[in-house]
Amino acid sequence: QHLAFSNGAATATRQEKTIAPANSKSIIKVLGELEAIYKVSFNYNSDQLEGKFIKNDLLPNKTSLEQTLKLVLRPFGLKYEKLQNNFYLIYAEKPTSQNLPIERTGLKRAQVAAIDISGKVVDEAGAPLPGVSILVKGTSSGTATDATGNFTLSVPSDDAVLIFSFIGFMSKEIAVNKQTVINVTLVPDAKALEEVVVVGYGVQKKSVVTGAISSVKATELENQQIGRVEQALQGRTSGLTIASSSGAPGAASSVRVRGATSLNDANDPLYVVDGVVVGDGGINYLNPNDIESIEVLKDAASAAIYGARSSAGVILVTTKRGKTGTINVNYNAYYGTQAPARKLDLLDATQYATLINEQSVNGGGKPVYTNPESLGKGTDWQSLIFNNNARIQDHQVNISGGSEKSTFYTSFGYFGQEGIVATDISKFNRYSIRLNSNHKLAKWLSFGQSLGYSRVKSNGGVGGNTDFGGPLSGAIMLDPLTPVIVTDPTELKAVPYATQAVVRDAQGNPYGISKVVQQQVTNPLAYIQTQKGNYDWADNIVGNAYVEAEPLAGLKIRSTLGARLNYWGSENFTPLYYLNANQFSIQTSFARNRRQLFNWNLENTASYSRSIGNHNFTILLGQGAYLDNNSSGLTVTYFNLPVDNFDDASMNYSTAADNINATGSEGIHHTVSSLFSRLTYNLKEKYLFTGIIRRDGSSRFGANNKYGYFPSASLGWVLSQEDFLAGNNQVNFLKLRGSYGITGNDVLGDFRYISTVGGGRNYTFGNDNYLIGYSPDAPANPNLRWEETSQLNFGVDAVLLQDWTLTLDWYKKKTTGILQTVVLPAYVGATGYPYGNVADMENRGVELELGYRKQVGALKLDVRGNVSYLENEVTYLGEDKTFLEDGAKLQNSSYLLTRTALGHAIGSFYGFQTQGIFQNQGEIDAYIAENGNKIQPKAKPGDFRWADLNQDGQITADDRTFIGDPTPNWSYGFTFNTTYKNFDLLAFGQGVGGNQIFQGLRRLDIPTANWQTNALNRWNGEGTSDTYPRLTTKDDNKNFANPSAFYLQSGNYLRIKTLQLGYSLTKETIGKVGLQRLRVYVSSNNLLTFTKYTGFDPEIGGNNMNNYSIDRGIYPQSRSFLLGLNVGF
Amino acid sequence: CQEDFLEVDPRATQIESNYFKNAAEVFNGLVAAYDPLGWEGDVASGYANFACLVAASDEAYGGGGSSSDVWYLQTMNNFNLLDPANGPQLGFWQRNFTGVSRVNTIISKLEGNISGLDEGTKKRYIAEAKALRAYYYFDLVRLFRNVPLIITPLSTDEIYQVEQAAPEAVYTQIEKDLQEAIAEVNLPNTVPAATEGGRITKGAAQALLGKVYIYEKKWKEAVQQLAEVNGTPGGTSKYGYRLLPNFADIFRPDNQFHSESILEIGHTAIAASNWGNTSKVEGLIASTMFGPRSYNGPLYYSTWGGCPITPELYNALYHDPRFKATIADVDSLVRIGKATYVPGYMNTGHFVQKYAPLQSFKSTGAGAATLNYPQNYIEMRLADTYLMEAEALVEGGGDMARAAALLNAVRARVGLKPVAATLDNIHQERRLELATEGHRWYDLVRTGKAATVLAPMGFEAGKNEILPIPLPELNNTKLVQNPKY
């Protein structure tokens, strides 16, 4: 938030922005008159005084200045402080001691004047700052600037250090060092405690907030290369675990506020953009550059105002708005290249053939390749699909400004990113336009709107993190023996090149088809050809309009209508192709998918704020109605068009009806109807209380449980307002707070509370007499009730030693009655799974946010860091039930990889414990049970020795146990921002710790798939390895098929996400050409990642507990180098 | 107003309490009870169809691309690999229990008042449903022996209380269901093939009951039922059953519900099935398993290379007139230069012909061709019931002349000379006549020969006669694993 301070002397030249009502005067005018009468100057923030009027008949006459000020200012909650030299500071709330006017510190003119210093203090725009206190460090002497920002001061010696401080600005220290003229520029302090925080249906001063709310401001996001909103939060707030599900352009990230709240899809926080619940479809449409602030409501007390959909936390996004004054035009851009941050170490042809031979012999077969050495290096598939020069660019223009009647903010943005994997089929483009404006129709009536439009076009043919195909799994698993293209004439004349629709390169050479690796693993270059041109698109219009009336002072009535209009779809052409014996297409098809969605919500609120003596309170009452999933879609497919590629495909070709296939669908509406209220109260801003209650009705629940009630209460105590801390120089601000509340979610299917009947249980009688059958979907559960999340939170907010800010939170979040599909035993014969309130879960955690800012001479420092610790435990799963039946799967793994069980974290890795490798037959024979029988009689040397955990003398499913946790316990981030003269340097890093990753890069049902180089360390004779078993085509011991710690690796990482160096041209240089700002920078993203993980990337998000931290070949993150430009007019 | 706002349009979602109220809706419920007949499992639960039983017998190997490809076939071909978590058992289990559940539902719905449904039709539906339940339970009890017996819709409270029943109790229920179906006068003897082919008829119910008695070794009862199904050997029975003159015609995809077919499971290409929900696949996936890999040549199209024929079966059939219609001799085509393919795991060059993916019937419509092969699977045919009756007559000391007539009618149809009606001859005839149709493994098990014949495949007597209870079924339930698994 930009603070536009102005001084009284300047008011003469300043226009009144608002016309005073009859018989009234604006306060600004009154102050101007007082300045003339009493020959004083006032310093105030015009934003705080703007629009405030006083009736003429209330104006006192012929009293003292001080009395007049009290009378005029008090009704508006304003105060004043007398500074030096007839300067008065007028402010809206008590300033912190950090910025205490100089008189408070017992300032006296220095008695002994050794050196006289003079200078001028200005703000970033060059405007003089009057009333800035200047203190000689370590003494109580100092002065303040006059109306023109000038000061003079005598200091005892050369080594004196001056501290310049002013409310709303970052304080600055400057060593005198023989200078006699010291000119200082102060920069606004966005983190000051008078900062306001968006709390849902309103704003609150941060100093009196009682909930646990983290916020990220636009200034922190400036010049950071952020493709999506989630990335803006990663590492910048505590309490969030954010992991991207892919490095593909435009890919979403999973966002968990204080860990997973539920077992179902209700783990995604609720996004509210400018007051509009965005809901499903996410916030991909939003241009991150338009964001003014993001607030994360973490505890239940804060989130409860969003009731039934807030259990996973609420993320409030506020977009930028115009400000009264001159028109600002900004152009920000960057351009850069990206390359994969890391490649896998895979075997070359010789190594591969060697291991294949060994594997074959161990399996009882013959060596396959007679002379592995002769095969050389072979094909490096990774290098063929990776692009080391993928472009990324971003262009943003925004124009903002306004008059006293209207303000506006308009932006145009373009973001384009090429993927680093198979760029031809991996691209993302977003065009966006935003139009926000506010209008004051009358003194008591205002109107405004926020409107964002975006078009997203993405080519997402790479996929990734699947063991079922795509260029990545091809590059990882395809053997290095297969040539990229086939040129050998004999081979070209043979099967399949001579007979099948093999895919060819631009020169007409067929791409090589592996003779040994098949299934979904194909030549990635050929695969890319089959996907060329296919794309997804989405048009989004998200906006709201509000009207706000203030019929009485303090009473605000507001009505907001928001809507999301979304059109999206895809275009896909499937040519004839033959990738291998399993992957081929024998007819062309051209599919067009179109879907649309129109969601709306209506909210009406009334709030009343009043101060009675020391009692300040605000009451909010509100009503809301929400409709979403109002969607429909169509897919039409044309088969056998007379074309062979995407570009030529068209539905204009005359096509017989039996070559056209169409399907359609409609969404079942989801409606929520709500009533909510909030009481905020404080006594002298010292004792704070907030209480919330919300009632939500949801269409997704039966009559028995249609409505849910979500209450919360929070208390705060600002200790620094107490006498014993007032004026304390160590503890400048200190607040203790505690909260408890209940939130919920209704993320479950529709009509789950009644038994439904579904079609599609079809059967054919006679000659293609294809009949539609109907049967019940799943046993009904009429007692389905709201999932509830209760949360207890204790927190501390503090400003210490002037420069340090600290926020510490402890919480306990308990979710009861978790809604999830119940996996019934198959003997029930149900066709679907019913929903049930199946589990209870608890998250406990601690979060710390620390900040330090300081200006020493020309060096400005701003360091922020946060760290969060989280523990998750399943506490109840139903009578006698100790685990849920579902879990993560991997192709041909003998068992599920994960298990959600009582007393453990959700989705914990579950498998066998290995006790090293049998080095010889003797060890196998010696591995006996109590009864003397061999535990693994069929094992061979080189096989894993499995732990017989239940000691029944054999290795069975019952010997599995919990072997790891996919969810990080620790997540942290830090930002180091420093400016020296015209240079600025930014380092931003982020990391997680405490989790494991299951590395399932190699498909078990393809024994000929390529290996990573660690396979060279496999057991191949006594003493060769105790961790990597022998290779064999007959894995009777299930060394590889059994999930075990063999596949687990530490998921810890620390990543330098951004390293940026910028240079700003001085105003003197660029002012001549009419520029306000010109900055150029170089930046690198993902420059360094510190991790022991051996896959592409340790950051592996997922949508649910069944894919989090499971690596099936994730699309790697890119490392980029960028050149950027910021221009302001 | 607020209440209305929270009541949303169900958009074609049917509420169970409003459904099954008229004749059309209960018929839809009956169709749903037939639906699992066509299920062949999926990736998640393991493909489960007769191909698994072919691989489990001495007729074929696992095949596929590698030792770990087509895992459901490998585990049945090498019993060492079969364990509660690995194998096709969940697919079989799901298919049959889903069938049982749908039958139980529709029978309970039919007890209510159905508008527009006459009493005769209602009784026919109930009889069909009971026969289907018997069919599903017969599969379950043969494959798993120890299964829960559920004959009414389960309430939510009962789900986790279910225990396994004694196999005898299951057999008793199967007999009862079939007897009641057969006794129902409204169950037709035959149905119009073009529109209703595949629906349960009295003949099918009786044939099934006869087969059930064979497995119970109730020889006399078996003969009683099968004699009515078979009629005069070589003639046309009272249900219209008659051996086809040309053996190869039995398996022509375009020759459906012919006079030799007693219980036939419908498959079609018109559903345009696709990958995704494979329980909704309406084509015959078994065919897709059987075809050679990367094949290029006449007759077949390229599929997964499963179930390569063992040399034992190849040799046994080599001089038999049924060879060509039973074994796809792809190797010969390659040798004469007419075809090429990529040999898979344990390849022998010989594949299943009766249900091979034939180019001439390959689906070219919407959906993946591999999932839309339009051939019906004949679960029971007249030659089978002839041979079963012959066996029951011999085992039970019945009419030996009729036994010989039945056996030799089967042989005569393919031009083979008559032989004596000994048990060995009957068993051998079953092996050759019914090869790769999914009966051999059951026959080996019920005649006690499995342990000897299948020993090279790791068959363990007292264990591998049945499949393990699928591992997930033991999670949080009262079910007990089968012995030795």
pLDDT of residue B4: 82
Overall average pLDDT of the A494-517 stretch: 88
Contact A767 B101 (CB under 8 A): no
Residue at which a domain ends, from A91, A114, A131: A91
Contact A772 B34 (CB under 8 A): no
pLDDT of residue B168: 97
User: Is the separation of the CB atoms in A849 and A855 below 8 Å?
Assistant: no
Overall average pLDDT of the B67-75 stretch: 87
Task: Provide, as residue numbers in chain A, all residues whose Cβ is less than 8 Å from the Cβ of B280.
Answer: 760, 762
Contact A758 B65 (CB under 8 A): no
Where in chain B are the domains? 20-48+88-187+458-485
> Could you report the per-residue pLDDT of B173-187, keeping only the tens digit for each?
999 999 999 999 999
Q: Which residue has the higher pLDDT, A145 or B359?
A: B359
The CA-atom distances, in angstroms, between A72 and each of A25, A56, A448 are: 11, 11, 30
Check whether residue A35 and residue A55 sit in a common domain: yes
Contact B32 A773 (CB under 8 A): yes
Task: Provide, as residue numbers in chain A, all residues whose Cβ is less than 8 Å from the Cβ of B23.
Answer: none
> Could you report the per-residue pLDDT of A859-869, keeping only the tens digit for each?
889 899 999 99
Torsional sign, CA A474, A476, A481, A484: positive
User: Is the separation of the CB atoms in A438 and A268 below 8 Å?
Assistant: no
Q: Does the pLDDT value for residue B399 go beyond 50?
A: yes
pLDDT of residue A93: 57
Check whether residue A9 and residue A121 sit in a common domain: no
Of B17, B94, B282, the CB nearest to A762: B282
> Could you report the per-residue pLDDT of A679-733, keeping only the tens digit for each?
999 998 889 999 999 999 988 888 778 888 999 999 999 988 888 877 677 888 8
Check whether residue A934 and residue A972 sit in a common domain: yes
* pLDDT confidence bin for A14, thresholds 50/70/90: very low
Closest-CA distance, A285 to chain B, in angstroms, reads: 28
Place of tokens 């009503």: A623
* pLDDT confidence bin for A1117, thresholds 50/70/90: confident
Of B69, B296, B473, the CB nearest to A499: B296
Closest among A760, A827, A780 to B31, alpha carbons compared: A760
Check whether residue A944 and residue A1001 sit in a common domain: yes
The CA-atom distances, in angstroms, between B42 and each of B51, B91, B470, B479 are: 13, 7, 14, 23
The pair of three-digit structure tokens given for residue A864, joined into one six-digit string: 């922020």
Closest-CA distance, B266 to chain A, in angstroms, reads: 5
- Three-class SS string for A811-865? EEEEEEEEEEECCCCHHHCCCCCCEEEEEEEEEEEEEEEEEEEEEECCEEEEEEE
Overall average pLDDT of the A585-595 stretch: 91
Of B19, B31, B193, the CB nearest to A772: B31
> Could you report the per-residue pLDDT of A465-486, keeping only the tens digit for each?
776 678 888 899 999 999 999 9
The CATH number assigned to the domain with range B20-48+88-187+458-485 reads 1.25.40.890
Closest among A187, A189, A184, A188 to A161, alpha carbons compared: A184
Best mutation site among A362, A589, A675, A765 for testing chain B: the one with the most B CBs within 10 Å? A765
What CATH number does residue A179 fall under?
Answer: 2.60.40.1120
The pair of three-digit structure tokens given for residue A359, joined into one six-digit string: 């594997």
> Could you report the per-residue pLDDT of A287-332, keeping only the tens digit for each?
888 888 899 998 888 888 888 888 888 999 999 988 877 788 999 9
Specify if A63 maps to a domain.
Answer: yes
Return all residues near A601 (Cβ < 8 A) that are at least 6 apart. A276, A277, A561, A562, A563, A624, A625, A626, A627
Q: Does the pLDDT value for residue A575 go beyond 80?
A: yes
Task: Provide, as residue numbers in chain B, all residues whose Cβ is less than 8 Å from the Cβ of A768.
Answer: 268, 270, 374
Task: Provide, as residue numbers in chain A, all residues whose Cβ is less than 8 Å from the Cβ of B366.
Answer: 589, 637, 639, 661
Weakest-pLDDT range from A928-937, B267-276, B338-347, B371-380: B267-276
pLDDT of residue A10: 34
Check whether residue A28 and residue A130 sit in a common domain: no
Contact A771 B304 (CB under 8 A): no
Contact B35 A699 (CB under 8 A): no
Check whether residue A178 and residue A68 sit in a common domain: no
Task: Provide, as residue numbers in chain B, all residues whose Cβ is less than 8 Å from the Cβ of A757.
Answer: 14-16, 19-20
Closest-CA distance, A133 to chain B, in angstroms, reads: 59
Return all residues near A1056 (Cβ < 8 A) that are at least 6 apart. A987, A988, A989, A1086, A1087, A1088, A1089
Contact A669 B8 (CB under 8 A): yes
Closest-CA distance, A1003 to chain B, in angstroms, reads: 10
Q: Does the pLDDT value for residue B358 go beyond 70?
A: yes
Contact B14 A515 (CB under 8 A): no
Task: Provide, as residue numbers in chain B, all residues whose Cβ is less than 8 Å from the Cβ of A623.
Answer: none
* pLDDT confidence bin for B71, thresholds 50/70/90: confident
pLDDT more than 90, % of chain A: 44
pLDDT of residue A259: 82
Q: Does the pLDDT value for residue A964 go beyond 90?
A: yes
ipTM greater than cut 0.90: yes
CA angle A569/A574/A579 to nearest 5° reads 135
Closest-CA distance, B118 to chain A, in angstroms, reads: 20
* pLDDT confidence bin for A282, thresholds 50/70/90: low
Task: Provide, as residue numbers in chain A, all residues whose Cβ is less than 8 Å from the Cβ of B97.
Answer: 826-829
**B447/B431 Cα distance (integer angstroms):** 13
pLDDT of residue B236: 96
Overall average pLDDT of the A1092-1108 stretch: 81
Overall average pLDDT of the B337-344 stretch: 86
Task: Provide, as residue numbers in chain A, all residues whose Cβ is less than 8 Å from the Cβ of B20.
Answer: 757
Weakest-pLDDT range from A521-525, A721-725, B71-75: A721-725
> Could you report the per-residue pLDDT of A157-185, keeping only the tens digit for each?
778 888 887 766 777 888 888 888 888 88
Overall average pLDDT of the A948-962 stretch: 90
Weakest-pLDDT range from A39-53, A846-860, B270-284: A39-53
Q: Does the pLDDT value for residue A11 go beyond 50?
A: no
- Domain span including residue A70: 5-91
Of A750, A758, A764, the CB nearest to B267: A764
Which residue from A minimizes the CA distance to B193? A766
Q: How far is CA A375 from the centre of its chain?
A: 47
Check whether residue A53 and residue A140 sit in a common domain: no
Task: Provide, as residue numbers in chain A, all residues whose Cβ is less than 8 Å from the Cβ of B161.
Answer: none
Overall average pLDDT of the A812-839 stretch: 88
The total domain count for chain A is 3
Closest-CA distance, B140 to chain A, in angstroms, reads: 11
Check whether residue A1088 and residue A1108 sit in a common domain: yes
Q: Which residue has the higher pLDDT, A100 or B170?
A: B170
Torsional sign, CA A798, A800, A803, A804: negative
Q: Does the pLDDT value for residue A9 go beyond 50?
A: no
Check whether residue A991 and residue A976 sit in a common domain: yes
Task: Provide, as residue numbers in chain A, all residues whose Cβ is less than 8 Å from the Cβ of B197.
Answer: 765-767
Closest among A346, A396, A349 to A373, alpha carbons compared: A349
Q: Does the pLDDT value for residue A103 go beyond 50?
A: no
> Could you report the per-residue pLDDT of B205-234, keeping only the tens digit for each?
999 999 999 999 999 999 999 999 999 999
Check whether residue A76 and residue A162 sit in a common domain: no
**A430/A458 Cα distance (integer angstroms):** 8
Contact B35 A780 (CB under 8 A): no
pLDDT of residue B3: 64
Contact B198 A639 (CB under 8 A): no
Contact A1036 B302 (CB under 8 A): no
Residue at which a domain ends, from A186, A209, A233: A186
Best mutation site among A828, A955, A1042 for testing chain B: the one with the most B CBs within 10 Å? A828
Exposure class string for A422-451: b at 16+ Cβ within 10 A, else e:
bbbbbbbbbbbbbebbbbbeeebebbbbbb
* pLDDT confidence bin for A280, thresholds 50/70/90: low
Overall average pLDDT of the B411-423 stretch: 96
**What's the distance, Cα to Cα, between the start and end of chain A in Å?**
19
**A382/A384 Cα distance (integer angstroms):** 5
Best mutation site among A827, A896, A1040 for testing chain B: the one with the most B CBs within 10 Å? A827
Q: Specify burial of residue B303 (Cβ count, 10 A radius: 0-12, 13-18, 19+).
A: buried
Q: How far is CA A735 from the centre of its chain?
A: 28
Q: Does the pLDDT value for residue A872 go beyond 60?
A: yes
Q: Does the pLDDT value for residue A1047 go beyond 80?
A: yes
**B219/B310 Cα distance (integer angstroms):** 32
Beta-carbon contacts below 8 Å between A and B: 265
* Number of helices and strands in chain A (H, E): 13, 60
Specify if A623 maps to a domain.
Answer: no
pLDDT of residue A190: 52
Closest-CA distance, B32 to chain A, in angstroms, reads: 4
Task: Provide, as residue numbers in chain B, all residues whose Cβ is less than 8 Å from the Cβ of A760.
Answer: 280
CA angle A386/A390/A394 to nearest 5° reads 150
> Could you report the per-residue pLDDT of A988-1011, keeping only the tens digit for each?
999 999 999 999 888 887 888 999
Q: Does the pLDDT value for residue A892 go beyond 60?
A: yes
Contact A825 B162 (CB under 8 A): yes
Contact A894 B32 (CB under 8 A): no
Check whether residue A1038 and residue A1007 sit in a common domain: yes
Of A698, A765, A826, the CB nearest to B198: A765
Of A756, A773, A1033, the CB nearest to B13: A756
Q: Does the pLDDT value for residue A99 go beyond 70?
A: no
Check whether residue A1027 and residue A991 sit in a common domain: yes
Overall average pLDDT of the B473-483 stretch: 92
Contact A765 B14 (CB under 8 A): no
Contact A830 B101 (CB under 8 A): yes
Best mutation site among A641, A764, A896, A946 for testing chain B: the one with the most B CBs within 10 Å? A764
Of B65, B97, B341, the CB nearest to A518: B65
Specify if A920 maps to a domain.
Answer: yes
Q: Does the pLDDT value for residue A621 go beyond 90?
A: yes
Contact A771 B28 (CB under 8 A): yes
